[in-house]
């Protein structure tokens, strides 16, 4: 059945009758379109009524402020075993907080939505129906004496054959399969640009978790995140994914600016007035206090340790190693002279992309959790200019970038369309994103190269695993692009990379979906006098006989021949492919590698296996490998917003 409003609560029955005709069509019959949402569709899943306010802000508030759509799904009733009265108060609290975020009166249209056999309570903000709050209302008592025991949500997530009952006027129950299917259907129908969730990486058993223990979280937080991760596998898409550190964030350094903290605290306070465990109304309310005071000062993302570093050469010919900090969420640069890490700031959970400008200066892209792309450029004296936003589309994935005189970038926008851009000349800016021809069912990670005729070529996969290519019509930045054409290749699930061979022809690498092995596909160099000599054609794929995860690292040797490095499995062994021959290296790694050929030496960098974020930098000279440096652990602090937040918090209503 479609997800429809089936009724209206007492708090908005009259308003619904009077105003339904004026509301956008999606409030009653469909999910909002991307145009309705000004390019932003956030779908946030949390366990409790306040998890989003404490751990996902300021991101949700920023997207509401930007005119985006934000739908928050609360899995539990958050009743703590105290019944509907306490649940209702907390629900009033989150409504008050979101009305304040949206700068609207606290007036809501209430109803229900049906997904399969399940009925979900649903509220849309009357003054801004792009803001929606959905409630599954799974009962939320401890099933034992408290910490160290289970809750209904954590029990149903971890044990087979059980169901969790709901609280409220429409009794319901969910098995684990029901929950995953319901969350997956919510993702499919909403078609988000970002799915936000809590931290699924905590490995402490539910029954061993304890309050205020370092690195511990609430079992409902972990269970909700694991269920969402599984639902995402059932409902794949080009949306971005952001996980949030919850309770353990209090153990990290403060990383929000004063204006961000003031705004986040006031938002939480609007909630706390309605939660009698915090306050009994506005008078005398001292919240946020205690742990909540620590949480509103911080916002940290879940980082994956298999994110590869970047190796880049600066204008002085020095090698740079860059990495996103797993502890500080910042952009970090290894200073080889001082043998320590420098922090360039920012707040990101995404990989980094480095490149060189036409004048050989080093550049760096980073993406924030709102989909904005930021660029930083190193000056000739080694100092960095600071972060600047790239104008135009918000992107769901990091861009592919070419370096040097061919500097350009291509990325997927929130709308599922590919865009490309190049640096402004002269100056330090980048041009606004320009749309490429549409590719049906496109996936999010294209690659970019420039052929011997000087024309950019973009290659990308669709959801069926087929490879496609488009090319500029002429070797001119203002030229249009050819229609996408299918490239004969094995079906692939990713692992794309592109470069040029010694003759300047495009070479593509990808992973065969069935064998998981690395494939090489070369552009055909047709004679100029041949029929259709100008057509973009490709040789048959060549199997390079090595399995790998992630994406290949690609560079060229002194003669322009491609060199490829891959990781064969998570926490596995590194392989090097030269002249299409794969050789196993005697190095284990915790991430796919970075690769750079410089002054006759081949450098290879990858994360060291283990829980601590360290990197090994190795070099090959005259066929002999040596360890250049085992880099120290990255700093714990130094992250911040890419841009200075507004000086004023949200105005009081």
Phi, psi of 418 (to 5 degrees): -85, 140
Average pLDDT of the segment spanning 467-494: 92
Peptide bond into 295 cis (omega under 30): no
Sorted by sequence, the CB contacts under 8 Å of residue 4 that are 6+ apart come out as 28, 29, 113, 114
For 27, the enclosing helix (H) or strand (E) is helix 26-29
Among 326, 239, 313, 282, smallest CA distance to 106 is for: 282
> Tens of pLDDT along 41-100?
999 999 999 999 999 999 999 999 999 999 999 999 999 999 999 999 999 999 999 999
Sorted by sequence, the CB contacts under 8 Å of residue 6 that are 6+ apart come out as 111, 112, 113, 114, 119
pTM of the model: 0.92
Average pLDDT of the segment spanning 529-533: 60
The C-alpha atoms of residue 348 and residue 639 are separated, in whole angstroms, by 9
The C-alpha atoms of residue 444 and residue 398 are separated, in whole angstroms, by 9
Proportion of the chain in helix, strand, coil states, percent, rounded to 5: 15, 35, 50
Residue 544 clears pLDDT 90, i.e. is over it: yes
- By CB atoms closer than 10 A (0-12, 13-18, 19+), residue 357 is middle
pLDDT value of residue 5: 32
Alpha helices in 191-250 (DSSP H): 219-234
Taking the CA atoms of 147, 148, 149 and 151 in sequence, report the sign of the dihedral they define.
Answer: positive
Residue 162: pLDDT band by 50, 70, 90 thresholds? very high
> Tens of pLDDT along 229-240?
999 999 999 999
Task: Measure Cα distances from 44 to 2, 70, 301, 421, 611 in Å.
Answer: 21, 8, 14, 31, 28
Q: For all residues of the chain together, what is the average pLDDT?
A: 91
The C-alpha atoms of residue 78 and residue 85 are separated, in whole angstroms, by 11
Residue 12, SS3 per DSSP: coil
The C-alpha atoms of residue 75 and residue 403 are separated, in whole angstroms, by 46
Do residues 469 and 487 lie in contact, with contact meaning Cβ atoms separated by under 8 Å?
yes
Do residues 496 and 447 lie in contact, with contact meaning Cβ atoms separated by under 8 Å?
yes
Residue 534 clears pLDDT 80, i.e. is over it: no
Lookup: tokens for 555: 């560079």
Peptide bond into 342 cis (omega under 30): no
Residue 647 clears pLDDT 70, i.e. is over it: no
pLDDT value of residue 393: 83
Provide, rounded to the nearest whole percent, the portion of the chain with pLDDT above 70: 92
The C-alpha atoms of residue 72 and residue 350 are separated, in whole angstroms, by 22
- Residue 642 DSSP one-character state: S
Beta bridge partners of 324: 331
> Tens of pLDDT along 6-31?
333 334 433 333 333 334 556 555 78
Task: Measure Cα distances from 590 to 568, 608, 619 in Å.
Answer: 11, 5, 18
Lookup: tokens for 589: 């790694």
pLDDT value of residue 13: 35
pLDDT value of residue 553: 98
Average pLDDT of the segment spanning 139-162: 96
Q: What is the DSSP string of 549-569?
A: EEEEEEEE-TTS-EEEEEESS
The C-alpha atoms of residue 43 and residue 60 are separated, in whole angstroms, by 10
Sorted by sequence, the CB contacts under 8 Å of residue 581 that are 6+ apart come out as none
Residue 261 clears pLDDT 80, i.e. is over it: yes
Residue 461 clears pLDDT 70, i.e. is over it: yes
> Tens of pLDDT along 581-597?
999 999 999 999 999 99
The C-alpha atoms of residue 598 and residue 130 are separated, in whole angstroms, by 52
3-state SS string for 264-326: HHHHHHHHHCCCCCCCCCCCCCCCCCCHHHHHCCCCCECCCCCCCCEEEECCCCCEEEEEECC
The C-alpha atoms of residue 128 and residue 395 are separated, in whole angstroms, by 24
Task: Name the CATH superfamily for 13-295.
Answer: LmbE-like (3.40.50.10320)
pLDDT value of residue 427: 65
> Tens of pLDDT along 493-521?
999 999 999 999 999 999 999 999 999 99
pLDDT value of residue 337: 77
pLDDT value of residue 645: 66
> Tens of pLDDT along 362-413?
999 999 999 999 999 999 888 999 999 998 889 999 999 998 888 999 999 9
Residue 164 clears pLDDT 90, i.e. is over it: yes
Residue 94, SS3 per DSSP: helix
Phi, psi of 289 (to 5 degrees): -140, 170
pLDDT value of residue 21: 31
pLDDT value of residue 1: 31
pLDDT value of residue 4: 31
- By CB atoms closer than 10 A (0-12, 13-18, 19+), residue 354 is buried
The C-alpha atoms of residue 259 and residue 265 are separated, in whole angstroms, by 10
The C-alpha atoms of residue 568 and residue 583 are separated, in whole angstroms, by 11
Phi, psi of 341 (to 5 degrees): -95, 140
pLDDT top residue among 22 and 278: 278
Lookup: tokens for 447: 């690659």
- Locate the domains of the chain by residue range: 13-295
Task: Measure Cα distances from 298 to 59, 84, 257, 268 in Å.
Answer: 12, 31, 9, 13
> Tens of pLDDT along 427-438?
668 888 999 999
Which residue reads 């390019």 in tokens? 39
The crossing angle, in degrees rounded to 10, of helices 258-272 and 84-101 is: 140
CB atoms within 10 A of CB 134: 23
pLDDT value of residue 26: 62
Average pLDDT of the segment spanning 206-212: 95
Residue 526 clears pLDDT 80, i.e. is over it: no
The C-alpha atoms of residue 81 and residue 146 are separated, in whole angstroms, by 11
> Tens of pLDDT along 168-193?
999 999 999 999 999 999 999 999 99
Do residues 173 and 179 lie in contact, with contact meaning Cβ atoms separated by under 8 Å?
no
Residue 271: pLDDT band by 50, 70, 90 thresholds? very high
Residue 649 clears pLDDT 50, i.e. is over it: no
């Amino acid at each position: 059945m479609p997800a429809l409003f089936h009724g209206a609560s007492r708090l908005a029955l009259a308003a619904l009758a009077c105003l339904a005709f004026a509301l956008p069509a999606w409030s009653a019959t469909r999910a909002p379109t991307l145009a309705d949402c000004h390019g932003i569709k956030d779908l946030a899943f949390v366990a409790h009524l306040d998890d989003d306010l404490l751990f996902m802000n300021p991101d949700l508030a920023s997207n509401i402020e930007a005119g985006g759509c934000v739908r928050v799904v609360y899995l539990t009733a958050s009743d703590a075993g105290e019944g509907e009265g306490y649940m209702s108060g907390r629900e009033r609290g989150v409504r008050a907080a979101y009305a304040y975020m949206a700068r609207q009166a606290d007036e809501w249209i209430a109803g229900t939505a049906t997904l399969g056999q399940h009925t979900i309570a649903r509220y849309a903000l009357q003054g801004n129906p792009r803001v929606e709050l959905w409630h599954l209302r799974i009962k939320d008592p401890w099933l034992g004496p408290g910490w160290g025991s289970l809750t209904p949500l954590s029990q149903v997530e971890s044990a087979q054959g059980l169901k969790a009952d709901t609280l409220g006027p429409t009794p319901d129950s969910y098995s684990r399969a029901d929950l995953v299917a319901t969350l997956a259907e919510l993702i499919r129908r909403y078609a988000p640009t970002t799915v936000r969730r809590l931290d699924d990486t905590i490995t402490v058993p539910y029954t061993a978790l304890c309050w205020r223990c370092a690195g511990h979280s609430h079992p409902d937080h972990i269970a909700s995140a694991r269920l969402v991760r599984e639902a995402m596998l059932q409902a794949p898409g080009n949306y971005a994914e952001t996980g949030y550190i919850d309770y353990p964030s209090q153990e990290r350094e403060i990383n929000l600016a004063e204006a961000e903290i003031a705004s986040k605290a006031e938002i939480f306070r609007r909630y706390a007035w309605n939660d009698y465990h915090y306050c009994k109304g506005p008078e005398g309310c001292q919240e946020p206090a205690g742990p909540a005071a620590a949480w509103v000062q911080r916002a940290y993302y879940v980082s994956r340790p298999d994110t590869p570093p970047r190796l880049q050469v600066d204008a002085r010919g020095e090698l740079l190693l860059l990495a996103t900090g797993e502890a500080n969420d910042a952009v970090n640069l290894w200073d080889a002279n001082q043998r320590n890490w420098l922090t360039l700031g920012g707040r990101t959970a995404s990989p980094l992309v480095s490149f060189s400008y036409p004048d050989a200066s080093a550049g760096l892209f980073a993406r924030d959790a709102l989909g904005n792309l930021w660029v930083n450029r190193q000056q000739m004296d080694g100092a960095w200019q600071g972060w600047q936003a790239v104008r135009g589309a918000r992107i769901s994935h990091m861009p592919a970038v070419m370096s040097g005189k061919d500097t350009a970038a291509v990325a997927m926008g929130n709308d599922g369309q590919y865009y490309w851009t190049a640096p402004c000349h002269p100056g330090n800016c980048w041009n606004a994103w320009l749309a490429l021809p549409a590719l049906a069912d496109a996936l999010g990670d294209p690659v970019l190269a420039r052929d011997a005729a000087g024309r950019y070529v973009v290659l990308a996969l669709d959801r069926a695993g087929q490879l496609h290519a488009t090319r500029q019509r002429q070797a001119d930045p203002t030229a249009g692009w050819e229609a996408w054409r299918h490239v004969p290749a094995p079906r692939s699930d990713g692992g794309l990379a592109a470069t040029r061979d010694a003759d300047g022809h495009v070479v593509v690498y990808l992973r065969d979906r069935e064998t998981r092995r690395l494939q090489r596909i070369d552009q055909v160099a047709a004679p100029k006098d041949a029929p259709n000599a100008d057509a973009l054609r490709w040789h048959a794929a060549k199997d390079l006989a090595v399995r790998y995860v992630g994406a290949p690292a690609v560079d060229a040797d002194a003669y322009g021949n491609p060199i490829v490095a891959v990781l064969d499995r998570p926490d596995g062994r590194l392989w090097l492919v030269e002249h299409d021959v794969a050789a196993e290296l005697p190095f284990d790694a915790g991430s796919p590698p970075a690769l750079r050929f410089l002054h006759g030496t081949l450098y290879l960098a990858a994360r060291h296996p283990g829980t601590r974020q360290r990197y090994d930098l190795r070099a090959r000279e005259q066929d002999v490998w040596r360890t250049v440096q085992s880099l120290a652990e990255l700093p714990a602090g130094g992250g911040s917003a890419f841009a200075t937040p507004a000086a004023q918090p949200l105005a009081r209503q």
